[in-house]
A and B are shown apart, each in its own frame.
Chain A
Amino acid sequence: MSGDGALLFTADADLHRRRRTERRWKAVLLVGASFSIVGLAVLIVRMLADGVPHMNLDFWSESYSPSGIRGRTAGIFDALVSSILVLGMTMVIAVPVGTAAGIYLYEYAHKSRLTDWIRATVSNLAGVPSVVYGLLGLAIFVRLFADTFGMPRQGTYLAAALTLAVLILPILIVATEEALKTVPATVRHASLGLGATKWQTIRHHVLPYALPGILTGQILALSRAAGETAPLLIIGLPTYQVFQTYGPLATGTPLQVRAYYLASDARQEAIDLAAGAIVVLLLATLALNLLAIFLRDRLQNRIRW
């Protein structure tokens, strides 16, 4: 403790000093806290300044062409389609499993050793670095699936989607559980008391209330998957293809993978294109996160139990 209790109020000079210390530390904390705002602002402004000038019509409507990159045929159209395809498949795979697992954990599971183990596994999976998921995808979804199901022995859209689905699974499970927690137990008791089964209770009474919260979690998971690059590089999505094909077992280059390759290209035109792609990624993830924040605030303000 600084200053002994008895002397605290008697020594004026001491009080003066302590007030000054108070003001100084408050200023230090304020400076520290403003760092993240400044950081975010600098990041967004610089990325926009680098990328936006190159985002003309061709940027959106044309595909990547390695030879024609100096000319007009340089854009992100094909990469954008790839990204949407991969993300769509990812969500179709991950959302049912993640939501169902969340429902199991909160609505069905009793406190047991099994439940504890599932929870511990989920929280540890959430902390596994994304490169490890990439290695998982490479060994299982590319190599093992090729050997057992005769799928192409290369990074396909399906392998990419499965890898990303596994990666966002913990996020979805935790988000679903958190959303279910906000629904008061009285809602369940009322429904069960009228003779509804557990599933009827969940489907008709719990899920409708929890849905906005679950949706918020899904949006955040989508945003995470949209920017995740390392796992896709590791499973071996191609650098570029002149004519990208689309379909689960086809292969192509999603936007974030394209951005990575273009950024390591020596030509200024390639780097400009990468800067544009980065802006698209940045704005897309910012928009998704803002939407999630907005949804959650609406939710908190709307429902009063």
Chain B
Amino acid sequence: MVQAARATVGEWQVATRARYGDLAARILFLTAGLSVFLVLGFILYVLVGNSLQFFRDVSILEFFGSTKWQTAGTVQISEGGDAGDFGVWPLIAGTMLVTVGAAVIGLPIGLATAIYLAEYAPSRVRSFLKPVLELLAGIPSIVFGFFALFVISPIVRDLTDEGSFLYYVFGQKSATIFSAMNAIIVVGVMVLPIITSLSEDAIRAVPKHLREASFGLGATKWETTKNVVVPSALSGIVASFVLGVARAIGESMAVAMAAGTQAAWTFNPIDSIQTMTGFIVQRTGGDTPQQGPVFTSLFAVGLTLFLMTLALNLLAQRFVKRYREVEGADT
């Protein structure tokens, strides 16, 4: 009787300890989950706070109204010189030039790869091609930057040599070491994995009976793909395009190394340009300005970049949600 009671108390203690352990674990895990809010809070605080400081020194009209971006060097500022011109459009133009160029390369090739993988590829080809894309996605952007600077750049320069066909295409200009084109080519390759994997998921999610209905009506594989599969997967494909564009906008090292170091208000892809990310990397690399408008301008540019990529990510999520819903309703 006493022994039995003791055993119960012992069990009760064990159970209590387990319950406290459970509570402790739950609290710990919740704290970890909430840490993402801390990170987002830090990002917003840092970007908005410093941007507000920036707009106290530089008028917002100049930032969004001027097409001249020229920040003074650290030495110049410490000697009390002018901080420079802060019209953000050349940086935005640089980013857009690289992004649009990369999209022209990356979107069709990425979509073709996705369609091939999902609809045509034999399983052996698939099991080879999928890892290749994953490896491509895993290569650091500094490697692409190095490749752009030392492999792509000489080719671009050769092709735009004075008198060549491309020399006339790009308005009688030859590329120097740095050109937007170097970055466009590698960023176009860098966005391939993201476009391919998301598009392929969307295409695979198209229910089989839609294809079979099309085949049953006598359509060929390509006709089915073009008229049935791709339209059904369209929202997912668009989401992949949007994410690919967001990735291109945020890409930093390839553009910092190979696109140029001087902001330029131009849309010619063989000009030397600077992107928003390129400016942030180049201006801070090794010699970070300590304070003043040049320092805070980094955050104003960062905030612009953050808002652009955030908007694109939210847009992509809407499209993904739509194709998930369609898929759900169908099965």
Question: In the complex where A25-B222, A39-B189 touch, is A132 in contact with B112 (Cβ < 8 A)?
Answer: no
Q: Are B284 and A100 in touch, CB under 8 angstroms?
A: no
Count A-B contacts at CB 8 Å.
Answer: 287
Contact (Cβ within 8 A) A227 B33: no
B22, B35, B47, B317: the one within 8 Å of A135 (CB): B47
Of the listed stretches B2-10, B64-72, B139-147, B161-169, name the one at the interface; the rest are far from the partner chain: B139-147
B-chain residues with CB within 8 Å of residue A105 when the two chains form the complex: 33
Q: How many Å from the CB of A297 to the closest CB on chain B?
A: 9
Instruction: Name the CB-closest residue of B to A173.
Output: B36
A59 surroundings in chain B (CB, below 8 A): none
* Nearest-Cβ distance from residue A205 to partner chain B, whole angstroms: 14
A-B contact pairs, 17 of them (CB 8 A): A26-B120, A36-B189, A97-B35, A108-B29, A124-B314, A135-B302, A136-B43, A140-B42, A197-B18, A200-B22, A227-B141, A229-B253, A234-B285, A235-B284, A263-B150, A282-B139, A282-B143
Q: Are A130 and B250 in contact (CB under 8 A)?
A: yes
- Determine whether B246 belongs to the interface, using a CB cutoff of 8 Å to chain A: yes
Chain B residues near A129 (CB-CB < 8 A): 249-252, 277, 305-306, 309
Chain B residues, Cβ within 8 Å of A250:
none
Q: State in angstroms the CA–CA spacing of A173 and B40 once bound together.
A: 15
In the assembled complex, the CB of A276 is this many whole angstroms from the nearest CB of chain B, namely: 11
Contact A264 B134, beta carbon cutoff 8 Å: no
Q: Encode contact with A along B14-42: 1 for CB under 8 Å, 0 otherwise.
A: 00001101100110111111111101101
Report chain A residues within 8 Å CB of B281: 131, 134, 230, 233-234
**B40 contacts across to A, CB distance below 8 A:** 121, 124-125
How many angstroms from the CA of A275 to the CA of B150 in the assembled complex? Answer: 10
- Whether B33 lies near A199 (C-beta < 8 A) is no
Q: Which residue of A lies closest to B288 (CB)?
A: A236
Of the residues B22, B116, B120, B147, contact of A43 by C-beta under 8 Å: B147
Encode contact with B along A138-152: 1 for CB under 8 Å, 0 otherwise. 111000000000000
A233 to B298, CA, bound (A): 13
Residue picked from B46, B129, B143, B147, most chain A C-beta under 10 Å: B143
The interface bits of chain B over 301-331 (1 if a CB of A lies within 8 angstroms of the residue's CB, else 0) are 0100110011011100100000000000000
Tell me which residues across on chain A come within 8 A of B189, comparing CB atoms: 36, 39, 43
- Name the residue on A nearest B32 (C-beta): A100
User: How far is A3 from B222 in the complex, measured between Cα atoms in Å?
Assistant: 13
The range of chain B's interface size is: 35 or more
Within 8 A of B (CB), among A242-259: 256, 259
A13 interface residue (CB < 8 Å to B) = no
Evaluate contact between A36 and B196: CB separation under 8 angstroms.
Answer: yes
Is B116 a contact partner of A29 (Cβ separation < 8 A)? Answer: yes
Q: Is A293 a contact of B284 with CB atoms below 8 Å? A: no
A139 with B50: CB separation less than 8 A: yes
Q: Kindly report which residue of chain A lies nearest to residue B285, judged by CB atoms.
A: A233
Contacts A8-B218, A138-B284; is A36 near B132 (CB within 8 Å)?
yes
Please, which residue of chain A has its CB at the minimum distance from the CB of B138?
Answer: A289
Across the interface, B284 reaches (CB within 8 A) one of A125, A134, A140, A274, namely A134
Report if A230-B309 is in contact (Cβ < 8 Å); known contacts: A36-B192, A40-B136: no
Partner of A1, one of B227, B243, B288: B227
In the complex, which residue of chain B has the Cβ closest to the Cβ of A203? Answer: B25
Please give, as numbers and ranges, the residues of chain A lying within 8 Å of B160 by CB-CB distance: none
A230 and B256: CB pair below 8 A?
yes
User: B159: CB under 8 A from chain A?
Assistant: no
Q: How far is the CB of B209 from chain A (nearest CB, A)?
A: 18
For the complex, what is the distance from the CA of A107 to the CA of B249, rounded to whole Å? 35
Contact digits for A157-179, partner B, Cβ 8 Å, 1 yes 0 no: 00000000010011001000000
Besides A43-B144, A139-B50, 10 more A-B contacts (Cβ < 8 Å) are A19-B220, A36-B129, A43-B147, A100-B29, A118-B36, A130-B252, A135-B46, A199-B26, A223-B138, A260-B253
Whether B310 lies near A104 (C-beta < 8 A) is no
- Does residue A194 face the partner (Cβ distance < 8 Å to B)? no
* A182 interface residue (CB < 8 Å to B): no
B248 to chain A, nearest CB (A): 10
Check B182 for interface membership: any CB of A closer than 8 A: no
Chain B residues near A202 (CB-CB < 8 A) = 25
Q: How far does the alpha carbon of A131 sit from the alpha carbon of B47 in the complex, in Å? A: 12
Residues on A with C-beta less than 8 A from B136 are: 36, 39-40
| Chain B, residue nearest A30 (CB) | B116
User: A138 — which chain B residues lie within 8 A by C-beta?
Assistant: 284, 288
Chain A hits for B313, CB < 8 A: 123-124, 127
Name the residue on B nearest A278 (C-beta).
B146
B151 within 8 A of A: yes
Check if A35 sits within 8 Å of B109, measured CB to CB.
yes
In the complex, what residue of chain A is closest to B306 when comparing beta carbons? A132
Q: Tell whether, in the assembled complex, residue B22 and residue A2 are in contact, meaning their CB atoms are under 8 Å apart.
A: no
B86 within 8 A of A: no
Is A128 part of the contact surface with B, judged by Cβ < 8 Å? yes
Inter-subunit contact B22/A118 (CB<8 Å): no
Return the CB mask of B215-237 against A: 1 if under 8 Å, else 0: 00111111100110000000000
Tell whether, in the assembled complex, residue B36 and residue A170 are in contact, meaning their CB atoms are under 8 Å apart: yes
| Contact residues, A89-139 vs B (CB, 8 A) | 96-101, 103-105, 107-109, 117-118, 121-125, 127-136, 138-139
